[in-house]
Amino acid sequence: MKENDSIPTYDPNEAPVMDTNKIYEWLPHRYPFQLVDKIIKLDDEEVVGIKNVTANENYFQGHFPGEPVMPGVMLMETIAHVGGIYILNQLDEPSRYTTYFVKVNSCKFRKMVVPGDTLVIKCYPFAPFKRGLAQMRGDAYVGKTKVCEIDIVASFVKNR
């Protein structure tokens, strides 16, 4: 597997590559499942997205309410959304396709994510796209601390 261990940096003063409106055009998710706030880097090698974790996220009401922690499945789904943007960017007409989270090959949660954290998520492929499938690595950071790493498989399907 190709390793890409550089920690992405985030400067909130720089304009994003994609804002929430553009992300809405590419991903069919709406509240409460629009999990990516902005894309700050997008090229042929990788994508970097931002998720601002706020106390008003609906899952914090029931997930350790006295000591809120972002559920691991929501963290994995957020990483998959960023990876979906990467996949769609590789296609000629991204708005004509939908990406689906198919499989988790491995996942490690390294540190809890809590309200107030800003997730910086980097995804990149570790194999060529084949038969409508993309194999990707996703790394999520809070500051310089890696909080999650995941190897996923996603499919991309032309819309009907």
Question: pLDDT digits over 114-142, tens only?
Answer: 999 999 999 999 999 999 999 999 999 99
End-to-end CA distance of the chain: 34
Question: pLDDT digits over 36-64, tens only?
Answer: 999 999 999 999 999 999 998 988 888 78
Indicate if the pLDDT at residue 20 is higher than 60: yes
**pTM above threshold 0.75:** yes
Percentage helix, strand, coil for the chain under 3-state DSSP, each rounded to 5: 20, 35, 45
Handedness of CA 140, 146, 147, 153 (dihedral sign): positive
Mean pLDDT of the chain: 93
Residue in 109, 114, 121 with CA at minimum distance from that of residue 147: 109
For the chain, domain boundaries: 20-158
In this prediction, residue 154 carries a pLDDT of: 96
Q: How many CA atoms lie within 13 A of 109 on its CB side?
A: 11
Query: Catalytic residue numbers?
Result: 63
154 in Cβ contact with 84 (< 8 Å): yes
Residue in 28, 144, 13 with CA at minimum distance from that of residue 94: 28
Q: What is the CATH number of domain 20-158?
A: 3.10.129.10
